[in-house]
Structure 1
Amino acid sequence: MINFTNVHNRKQTRSVKWDILQAVFQSEEVLPMWVADMDFQTPQPVIDALVERSTHGIFGYTILDNDVKYSIAEWLERRHNWSIDTEWLSFSPGVVASLHMAIQAFTEPNDKVLIQTPVYTPFYNVIKKHDREVVKNTLIYKDNSYHIDFDDFEEKLKSGVKVFVLCSPHNPVGRVWHKEELKKMADLCLTYNVLLISDEIHGDLTFPGNKHIPIASLSDEIRQETITFMSPSKTFNLAGLQASYIITADKKKRSILTDQLESQGHHMLNTMGNFAMEAAYKHGDAWLDELRDVLHDHRNYVVEMFSQHTEKLKVIHSEGTYLLWIDCSRLNLDDNSLKKFMIENAKVGLNAGIEYGDEGKQFMRMNIACPRATLEEGVKRIINAVQGK
């Protein structure tokens, strides 16, 4: 049995989540349930591998050898039924860095890049940073879930879009896309000659009854026109070690992307990220299986508590990730007032929905990857604030 109940003190560890509350929320009293890392320790085999490597005491340049690459390939085969060639792998410090590199490598200034909103904030920032045009395929919010507007999706592709950036599973709305949805999106990208970039960093974190399918695994043709971003960082709480990888089957595209990565010095991993990735993928299965059960229970707890105690908050049905998307529209607050309410009344630090685009107005995002005691305290604070206590 793995202990996911211990409350670890993360303050004074230079934690983004815990040590900059004043700067982010203008308060030290909020309970942080925002930025997407977990308050759980990484698997013991990963800790052991890092301790063993650190005792060597020399931290020079390190290579990404076949042991690391095979651990990735075996993980993808074992967990996602996806067989890859290790030659398809490239490496970068993180998925956002990879997105910067890919946008620069495969588009030109003023090119159109399609995203499905509301969506992870860096998608907007990366596209705009490089003077590309953001094109939105707004997801349809219906029946307590989100759905793809395929008519609009196709119209946007027809308009001259060069790249489609898919978020799969989707952050923040929690959708794990079904095979039919993925196939339809991919086929339309093929029809209109649109490069498909897929951020699948949350792919290991799905709830019972939902299975993540790497979109590039659907067919040989789709695989050749897809670039996939993955990382153990969300899965095993390794974000601070900055280790991610890119899967590009098409040799020409891989060469273009590799040149871009090397030109900006983003093609290597730090020593600790290198060893942590291998250990996590070789020895992390049991830990992950239990984590998924914990997160599923946490999701159900939040849904049940809000349902029992208030009609003003509605948790959108989530199929994966450890991020809940909460409809707060019945509070009848504008976005600034909603953010202020959560900070000052509930004393909980959440991500404001408006950060994910206009479609996120009157929503909040909650991180439930924390010990049960922390989760219960956060939920209690929110319910009491809504009830005026």
Structure 2
Amino acid sequence: MKHYNFDEVIERHGTNCIKFDQLKERFGSENLTPLWVADMDFRTPDFIVEAIKKRCEHEIFGYTYGSDAYYESIINWVHYKYNWKIQKEWISYIPGIVKGIAFSLQCFTQPGDKVIIQPPVYHPFRIVPESMKREVVYNPLKLTDGSYEMDFEHLESIIDNKCKLLILCNPHNPGGIVWKKETLIKLAEICAKHHILVISDEIHAEMAYPQYRHYPFASVSDTAASCSITFMAPSKTFNIAGIVTSYAIVPDKHIRKEFYSFLEAGEFGDGTIFAYEATTAAYTYGAEWLQQMRMYIMENVRFVDDFIKTNLPQIKVYMPQASFLVWLDCKDLKLSQEELVDLFTNKAGLALNDGSIFGPGGEGHMRLNIGCPRSVLVSALEALKKAINKK
């Protein structure tokens, strides 16, 4: 068994890397430790790199399509990871999940229609519909015993005949929640009753920690399968976001015909050579790498939680159940959001995501990306400790 080294610090400056090379543009300074945008600083696994190198040896990169091996790798992986049996015709490449959300809005809604989101949540869920002149309606998550839950009573109260679509984050970003099966079943019942299409963003699904089981939304019941589109990708898991490897799974034939006809009309479902190669390699050879990477991330979570409890008791860590993003409750610092961002950015020299961008409930929070070598986290948290002690 190969041992992968996640402690390696890799220089990413000068590679047109958003996370590092756009620090000055996004945060006003390039001299920050970047712990924000959701990609990891780990080397992309060797089996993916080798698959791309091998394809490059052919030296012709003409029009392409997904091979049988590509579809089989997705079908087998989804069955292996989630015990969900899907079929080839249910699957389509898409050029990114945010783009897939935009396509769904364009296909199934009209300007003025209402789109439901559950904040605090990944900010494109709000930005994309608003940019397309759809009305965004909030069904905020509620905090119960320090953890987020869906508020079904409130959801029922806000639904009217203009509500056409709900965007689900499963697992949840930034809260790190792996939704329980009964929660998803209940959500499906409500949405189906009101003829609301559920768009389930499951990009962090593969990174659910071993003690939690991820349920693809469409897999939890026939009702869920009949009212949903699922988006998945190996991009977060295997650190290949720049290759654009997303795909849609649509079990319902009526939704599938309408959505895939839309994709076909604009050739949006046509993937690239390297997307097909990378996905096939990730899902064929990636199980052991994923296991080792998740264990490293879980140790990073434990380190962050222990450090903050010991040294920064004014900050609370929401313990994630999936992914490499940690949601920090900083309200006990008694700072305005502007002061909080200034503390992290200008005083501690750290670039994190401002919690307020995630919508109602995000104020007083920051999102920390721990997909990096532990040495980076050590120095970052020491810098934060020093800045808070000076406050």
**TM-score bracket for the superposition, by shorter chain length:** over 0.9
The 8 Å contact of residues 206 and 320 in structure 1, kept in 2 or not, is answered as yes
Q: Is the CA contact 1:37–1:237 (under 8 Å) kept in the aligned structure 2?
A: yes
Q: Secondary structure at the match of 1:166?
A: strand
| In 2, Cα distance between equivalents of 1:336 and 1:61 | 49
Cα RMSD (Å): 1.3
Q: Which residue in the other structure is 1:238 paired with?
A: 240
2:282 pairs with 1:280: yes
Cα drift, residue 160 of structure 1:
4.0
**How far is the alpha carbon of 1:154 from its aligned partner?**
1.7
SS of the residue aligned with 1:48? helix
The Cα of 1:263 is off from its aligned counterpart by 3.2
For structure 1, which segment, 142-151 or 299-308, has the greater mean C-alpha deviation from structure 2 after superposition? 142-151
- The answer (yes or no) to whether the contact 2:336–2:364 under 8 Å persists in 1 is yes
Structure 2 unaligned regions, length at least 5: none
SS at 1:324 equivalent: strand
Q: What does residue 209 of structure 1 align with?
A: 211
Q: 7-16 or 148-157: which moved more? A: 148-157
Shift of 1:165: 0.9
Q: Which residue of 2 aligns with 1:304?
A: 306
Residue number in structure 2 paired with 1:343: 345
1:72 to 54, 71, 74: 74
Contact 2:301 2:319 in 1 (8 A): no
Residue number among 47, 50, 63 corresponding to 2:49 in the alignment: 47
The correspondence for 2:189, drawn from 183, 187, 190, is: 187
CA contact (8 A) 1:310 1:387 kept: no
Task: Tell me the residue number matched to 1:352.
Answer: 354
Q: Distance in 1 between matches of 2:282 and 2:203?
A: 15
TM-score normalised by the chain length of structure 2: 0.97
User: Structure 1, residues 150-205: CA drift from partner, whole Å, max 9, x if none?
Assistant: 11012223564211111000001111101111111111112222111100010011
**Residue deviations 1:330-381 (CA, integer Å, cap 9, x gap):** 1221111211111111101000001111321111000000111112111211
- Contact conserved, 1:88 with 1:249, CA < 8 A, in 2? yes
- Partners of 1:213 and 1:377 in 2: CA distance: 36
CA distance in 2: counterparts of 1:327 and 1:144, whole angstroms: 10
- TM-score normalised over the length of structure 1: 0.97
Contact residue 346 and residue 385 of structure 1 kept, 8 A: yes
For 2:206, give the aligned amino acid.
D
Amino acid paired to 2:297: L
Distance (whole Å) between structure 2 residues aligned to residue 198 and residue 135 of structure 1: 17
Conservation of the 8 A alpha-carbon contact between 1:157 and 1:189: no
SS across alignment from 2:215:
coil
Find 2:367's aligned residue among 365, 368, 379: 365
> In the aligned structure 2, how far is the partner of 1:169 from the partner of 1:84?
20
Equivalent pair of 1:315/1:325 in contact (CA under 8 Å): yes
- Provide the residue aligned with 1:125 in structure 2: 127
Q: Which amino acid aligns with 1:294?
A: Y
Residue in structure 1 matched with residue 177 of structure 2 by the alignment: 175
Q: Distance in 2 between matches of 1:207 and 1:221?
A: 27
Once residues 24 and 230 of structure 1 are traced to their aligned partners in structure 2, the CA distance between those partners, rounded to angstroms, is 28
Structure 2: which amino acid aligns with 1:41?
R
Question: Residue 29 of structure 1: SS of its match in structure 2?
Answer: coil
**Which of structure 1's runs of 4+ aligned residues deviate more than 6 A?**
none
Find the aligned partners of 1:385 and 1:351 in 2 and give their Cα distance. 18
CA contact (8 A) 1:353 1:364 kept: yes
**SS at structure 2 position matched to 1:272:** helix
User: Does the residue aligned with 1:249 lie in a helix, a strand or coil?
Assistant: coil
In the alignment, structure 1 residue 105 sits paired with structure 2 residue 107: yes
Q: Distance in 1 between matches of 2:379 and 2:272?
A: 37
AA matched with 2:47: P
Tell me what 2:151 maps to: 149
Partner Cα distance (1:65, 1:197) in 2: 26
**Which whole-Å CA distance do the structure 2 matches of 1:329 and 1:142 have between them?**
17
Asked if the contact 2:355–2:366 (Cα under 8 Å) also holds between the matched residues in 1, the reply is: yes
Deviations 1:195-217 (A, max 9, x none): 11100010011124211100101
CA contact under 8 A between 1:144 and 1:317: conserved in structure 2?
no
Tell me what 2:324 maps to.
Answer: 322
Q: Which residue of 2 aligns with 1:223?
A: 225
Partner of 1:377: 379
1:115 alignment partner in structure 2: 117
Alignment partners' CA distance in 2, 1:289 and 1:102: 33
How many residues align? The count is: 389
Structure 2 residue 5 is matched with structure 1 residue 3: yes
Question: How many percent of aligned residue pairs carry the same amino acid?
Answer: 39
Is the Cα–Cα contact under 8 Å of residues 176 and 319 in structure 2 kept in the other structure? yes
Residues 197 and 227 in structure 2, CA contact (< 8 A), matched pair in contact too: yes
Work out the CA distance in 2 between the residues paired with 1:262 and 1:214: 25
CA distance, structure 2, for counterparts of residue 250 and residue 127 of structure 1 = 24
Q: Retained in 1: the 8 A contact 2:231–2:248?
A: yes
Paired AA for residue 322 in structure 1: F
Distance 2:270 2:380 in 1: 39
Q: Using the alignment, how far apart are the partners of 1:9 and 1:272 within structure 2?
A: 23
Bigger CA drift: 258-267 or 357-366?
Answer: 258-267
Residue of structure 2 aligned with 1:269, choices 249, 268, 271: 271
- Aligned partner of residue 201 in structure 1, secondary structure: coil
Distance 2:273 2:338 in 1: 42
SS in 2 for 1:295: helix
The aligned residue for residue 59 of structure 1 is 61
Aligned counterpart, 1:25: 27
